[in-house]
Amino acid sequence: MPESSSSALPPAPAVATRPSQPAPLTLGFDADDTLWHNETLFASAHQKFHALLASHHDPATVERALYATELRNLPLYGYGAKGFTLSAIETAIELTGGRVSSSELHALLALGRDILAHPVELLEAVPDTLAALGAAGHRMLLITKGDLRHQERKIEASGLAPHFLAAEVVSEKDEATYARLLRRHGVAPERFLMVGNSLRSDIAPVLALGGLAAHIPYPLTWEHEKLAELPSAPGRFFTLGSIRELPALVARLAVAEGA
């Protein structure tokens, strides 16, 4: 048969005509209020703090002063319960004109210690969802900020560590941190989906790097983690009602991004 005959051509390789195949993504998971409850503990501590200072100031004034102190101290103390405790003590000294008693200081220390000692309470459907994503071949990183020891203990107590390639406890979740982590793990931003409850820490910096982000709001959000406006990144930013919706989104993205 002459070579010019089309019937003599070998069939095109199957791969060229097949629909695009899913390619596994690397998924980053925030921990506090994404995998387990956290903000509810801080909200409860804030209420006790208001009650403790109720004879000096109304709750709104106390809350405003505490938030201002926390923001001022963030660069020095970082995030977490220990920084909160020190800021609560500092605020109490300020708001009482230095008259806070040692028993009140003891109560303030207990607020922080109660947060640190509280057992880990997983959010609904978390272990099953992580197992399903792992079974689908996706690599998963845990990326969390806060007190190092507290976070390490919660990761251990959660029983979720085996799902993750690595657990990264960082002092700030900004563009520089995510860029460093992606480089370290050899992940291209466009193959990375970050999942978390904080627009400021989990979503905005990853979108800025060209990555994908899934926002799963938690009923409570610390003021500092809010953004005035939702980020705009069509096709790269998603809002989910629950972590249960994540496997379907990831499956869809794995096909689209693998095309």
Q: Which is nearer to Mg ion, 32 or 257 (CB)?
A: 32
Pairing mode, if any, of strands 139-145 and 26-29?
Answer: parallel
**Minimal distance, residue 30 CB to Mg ion, in Å:** 4
Picking from 82, 91, 15, the residue whose alpha carbon sits closest to that of residue 49 is 91
Helix (H) or strand (E) holding 29: strand 26-29
Q: How many CA atoms lie within 13 A of 226 on its CB side?
A: 7
Among 143, 163, 197, 216, binds Mg ion (CB under 5 A): 197
Q: Which stretch binds Mg ion (CB under 5 A): 86-94, 102-110, 190-198, 245-253?
A: 190-198
Cα 88 to Cα 46, 47, 98: the distances in Å are 9, 12, 13
Distance CA 196, CA 174 (A): 14
How far apart, in whole angstroms, are the C-alpha atoms of residue 41 and residue 111?
9
For the bound state, the minimum distance from the C-beta of residue 60 to Mg ion, rounded and expressed in Å, comes to: 25
* Contact pattern for Mg ion over residues 10 through 39, marking x by CB under 5 A: --------------------x-xx------
List the structure tokens of 134.
């792992």
d(CA 187, CA 111): 40
In the complex, least distance from residue 157 CB atom to Mg ion, rounded to whole angstroms: 17
Q: Does 70 bind Mg ion (CB under 5 A)?
A: no
C-beta closer to Mg ion: residue 85 or 197:
197
Total chain residues near Mg ion (CB under 5 A): 5
Residues binding Mg ion (CB under 5 A)? 30, 32-33, 197-198
